[in-house]
Amino acid sequence: MERVTHLTIATQNAGKMDELRALLSDLPLVLRPADGMPEVEETGSTFSENAELKARAAAEWSGGWALADDSGLEVDALNGGPGVHSNRFAGGNTTEADRNAALLQLLKETPAERRTARYRAAIAIAAPDGRVWISEGAFEGRIVDEARGTNGFGYDPHFFVPEHGCTVGEMDPALKNRISHRARALIRAREILERICR
């Protein structure tokens, strides 16, 4: 297998890009955001399907190897919602604050003990010849009303992790990068990444 030195990341989310750079910093890969790539319509019904759609599109667009993730929040009291719609369930052109407010509105009658939730991530790695590898990871917690902390992004200030006694928004980024859903999915994806870049 030809050694790969560059990997296109199918995201324009700066927070996600920072996390991936930290998680993959020990590999001899230059990570490039897919700036200018046309937006991929996320028509999949699962995180894995959406990650694969984006990775294939980024590999075709860049002409090289690409990585994409699709991730979101699953709340048990909402039957697994917002799920694959986590970034747009509150409508188009909404902010993170808008989505958090919409989530809390949906949960306003739900007692704390029933607010169990998880972040879920699927990572797809696509080769320019069409091969794709997919891995998944999950991270358990529960939703709290009060926004706590300024680290991370998305639902992190409301995602409380009982075993650490804090929200992900309060969590040291280095700890998050060891235990998050994305980190767990990447652990399984590292084998192929190590093979292509060494």
Helix (H, G, I), strand (E, B), or coil: what is residue 157? helix
DSSP β-ladder status, 66-75 and 116-126: antiparallel
User: Do the beta carbons of residue 152 and residue 15 sit within 8 Å?
Assistant: yes
User: Do the beta carbons of residue 70 and residue 42 sit within 8 Å?
Assistant: yes
- Give the span between the Cα atoms of 137 and 104, in whole angstroms: 25
Mean pLDDT of 173-186: 92
Q: Please confirm, yes or no, whether 70 is among the known catalytic residues.
A: yes
Report yes or no on 186 lying in a domain. yes
- Phi first, then psi, for residue 46 (nearest 5°) are -135, 165
- Checking if the pLDDT of 5 tops 90, the result is no
Nearest to 159 by CA among 178, 180, 135: 180
Report yes or no on 192 lying in a domain. yes
Predicted confidence at residue 187, as pLDDT, reads 86
pLDDT digits (tens, 9 = 90+) for 22-64: 889 999 999 999 999 999 999 999 999 999 999 999 999 999 9
Mean pLDDT of 164-183: 94
pLDDT digits (tens, 9 = 90+) for 123-143: 999 999 999 999 999 999 999
Predicted confidence at residue 2, as pLDDT, reads 63
**For the chain, what is the domain count?**
1
Report yes or no on 181 lying in a domain. yes
pTM above 0.85, yes or no: yes
User: Do the beta carbons of residue 132 and residue 110 sit within 8 Å?
Assistant: no
Predicted confidence at residue 66, as pLDDT, reads 97
Report yes or no on 166 lying in a domain. yes
Amino acid symbol at 31? L
Report yes or no on 1 lying in a domain. no
Bond into 82 cis (ω within 30): yes
Q: Helices marked H in 41-158 — which ranges?
A: 47-62, 96-106
Give the C-alpha distances (Å, rounded to integers) separating 169 from 10, 38, 87, 92.
24, 31, 17, 24
Report yes or no on 92 lying in a domain. yes
Predicted confidence at residue 188, as pLDDT, reads 81
CB atoms closer than 10 angstroms to residue 178: 12
Report yes or no on 171 lying in a domain. yes
| Average pLDDT along the chain | 93
Domain holding 147, by residue range, is 6-197
User: Do the beta carbons of residue 89 and residue 151 sit within 8 Å?
Assistant: no
Question: The domain that contains 38 carries what CATH number?
Answer: 3.90.950.10
- Phi first, then psi, for residue 185 (nearest 5°) are -65, -40
Catalytic residue among 26, 69, 70, 156: 70
Torsion from C-alpha of 154, 157, 162, 165, nearest 10 degrees: 140
User: Do the beta carbons of residue 115 and residue 75 sit within 8 Å?
Assistant: yes
User: Do the beta carbons of residue 118 and residue 98 sit within 8 Å?
Assistant: no
Report yes or no on 141 lying in a domain. yes
